[in-house]
Structure 1
């Protein structure tokens, strides 16, 4: 099937030798894909990074802030939105690799007030894969404090047995990240900035942007208003990471080949790429969502659709394993003023990062990335 897909792509794109990806040809494809999207959705700035056989390329467009006209570069900080969930998942996998927690544990082991509650029937894996109990997408508006949040969890009424349905949820992954931080001896943000980002070699990735990096922090745009993410309950765990295209493409390269990482972090990466539940066209991992590769554009659009984000979906438990066949991994993310998308195919050694300072529609991100992904796949096909 992969050979048939490559042959079909060859009709659209000339093949380029594996050893020398044609940067000019890739730029032409990226330029052609990015320009119309930025124009249609009034995106002020976008940073695009691609990797082909370990070689990173950067393509930067527009401005990080409209008032200053500061240009976007691969060092511009963008809010990742829900792509942050992949970092939360990695930290959880790392804590398990160190023996600090098990994905089979239940929340009440770490939060005593939840012991015996409906939520305590779920495991940490259920929390991390949104299959725990039918949590809503967001924490309810009337929950303002951490005490109120845990009271909400304590009295939450589950809509069925864990593992039956996937309800994409910030409270679910948020509680998973909160417990991970506890297991590692502090807050989630402390553990991420102390243990996770440095071990991944991410020198410009933050939850709490330091003053020294504020000049690189883009402004997001909601309509014409310049905005940044607001502090909130479980913001760090669910959507709070800020990063650059340079760091994010390194992150993708480590997802493709984690062999340079220390053993516990290697195991963490493999944990996040394990398929746990089949949900419609995609397999839900811990953070990442995956598809057999090659995958059609239609399947990717369905897997990243509004229905998948806003409506409960039937889930079928899989035998947990890292897929042996070629697999595409992806994750979208948004905050009020930013939109991101990350996609990679380890078997092809290709990946793409899209970072923008407007939350433009997921469909547009998927279509943009898919058109570039086809070119990257051909860029490493033998002549």
Structure 2
């Protein structure tokens, strides 16, 4: 890419980023593109509506679940050094592990945690600082429901990655955050990537924003990084903060510049499919720490994250040595902003076009079959049929919201969904904050609908009250 064309594309990128941020009402955003070894960045808006500073490519954003790519890579360095085995039972490294099912506790492997096939539900939810260490978090794992036997199906689990963090602690003898610094961040040259709030607060950082009050105006989200207590217990799954400049360097690392830290074979292994996914927006399969997705015939790896009023997206195209990063400081529309940016960048820079599939016509019999309540530990998901259309609504469970001592994200009101084929169980959301999200209704051996996948998580069907 010549300097002239790079400048022209940078101008186009800046114009698109600004227009799209205004369209979705995002206070501050930053986007970065890596192509042909060159970088282009575009920023718009401010870090904080109450105390505004301009956003730039060094501004720190909370990355939430993009953290999992760092945790997985640090773990893979231990594998490359022969200190951890992927197929070993987790209890080899965390002998104190107890779960709701003893057989599962015996069988879960390190790889099961890395590719979300451990059968653990999404996460433990605390209403006090009961698990502000990883050891404390692990002590509470017997309270976590199990959704499937280990290795039988994928379901996105924050708890699984937090348990990986405990493995890193026990193997290295260091606190998780310090171990990741030494194993990965320092040798990789990631000088603007942190877990520690003491490091973040002395730099320019973006504050998340959520709508609130009777007028639904955006306001700074509190607390800054997470709405759950026990923050350190959640660091391996979602606690890191970084900037677009460092994330583009992180993409370069994953594309091969990190061979002196992690061998090329190990990096490549992380991008190989370990399990297939069906009908999910996140990807067609899972590698190690990465969602794998084919877009218009082009293979990509990526991960997104959603924190308290902040959204992050990182997508890499290995065969093209290409990457795009998009960070936004408002929810829930930050996710829609990021998706719009990623699609535009793929089309403009690589000629790769992605379009959402169209749902088939409403079918009342099928709608009635799936209508009902589904749940995980922290959220309820309601599928409703009004005789004309099928809708999906998401709420934080009332007992969790009532017990919380901090702001929590708003519930998502009913939004239309539709099936993607006349006789299949795949669906797509066609409006609202989850527009474009795809998933699958699950059935038992007798064919009854018993669950629904949304954003990679399996929500189990809840029996109707008698």
Find the aligned partners of 2:60 and 2:91 in 1 and give their Cα distance.
37
Is the 8 Å Cα contact of residues 75 and 245 (structure 1) preserved in structure 2?
A: yes
SS in 1 for 2:316: strand
| Shift in CA distance, 130/212, structure 1 to aligned 2, threshold 3 Å | closer
Displacement of 1:21: 7.0
Q: Which sections of structure 1, spanning at least 5 residues, go unmatched?
A: 1-17, 296-325
Is the 8 Å Cα contact of residues 119 and 153 (structure 1) preserved in structure 2?
A: no
Is the 8 Å Cα contact of residues 351 and 373 (structure 1) preserved in structure 2?
A: no
Moved more, 149-158 or 212-221: 149-158
Find the aligned partners of 1:75 and 1:275 in 2 and give their Cα distance.
33
Corresponding residue of 1:208:
196
Is the 8 Å Cα contact of residues 64 and 307 (structure 2) preserved in structure 1?
A: yes
Corresponding residue of 1:160:
148
Is the 8 Å Cα contact of residues 29 and 372 (structure 1) preserved in structure 2?
A: no
Corresponding residue of 1:287:
289
Displacement of 1:246: 0.7
Moved more, 200-209 or 159-168: 159-168
The question of 1:139 aligning with 2:134 is answered no
Is the 8 Å Cα contact of residues 60 and 200 (structure 2) preserved in structure 1?
A: no
SS in 2 for 1:100: coil
Larger relative contact order (Cα-Cα within 8 Å, sequence gap ≥ 6): 1
Corresponding residue of 1:303:
none
- 1:1-383 superposed matches below 5 A: 18-19=1-2, 22-114=5-97, 117-133=103-119, 135-141=120-126, 144-145=130-131, 149-154=137-142, 158-211=146-199, 214-223=202-211, 224-227=219-222, 228-230=224-226, 232-256=231-255, 258-262=256-260, 264-280=262-278, 282-295=284-297, 327-361=299-333, 362-378=335-351
SS in 2 for 1:70: coil
| Shift in CA distance, 249/111, structure 1 to aligned 2, threshold 3 Å | same
Displacement of 1:264: 3.1
Find the aligned partners of 2:55 and 2:287 in 1 and give their Cα distance.
32
Is the 8 Å Cα contact of residues 51 and 57 (structure 1) preserved in structure 2?
A: yes
Greater CA radius of gyration, 1 or 2?
2
Q: What do you get for the CA RMSD once the two structures are aligned?
A: 2.5
Q: TM-score, normalised by structure 2?
A: 0.65
Is the 8 Å Cα contact of residues 47 and 73 (structure 1) preserved in structure 2?
A: yes
Moved more, 114-123 or 149-158: 149-158
Is the 8 Å Cα contact of residues 90 and 271 (structure 1) preserved in structure 2?
A: no
SS in 2 for 1:214: coil
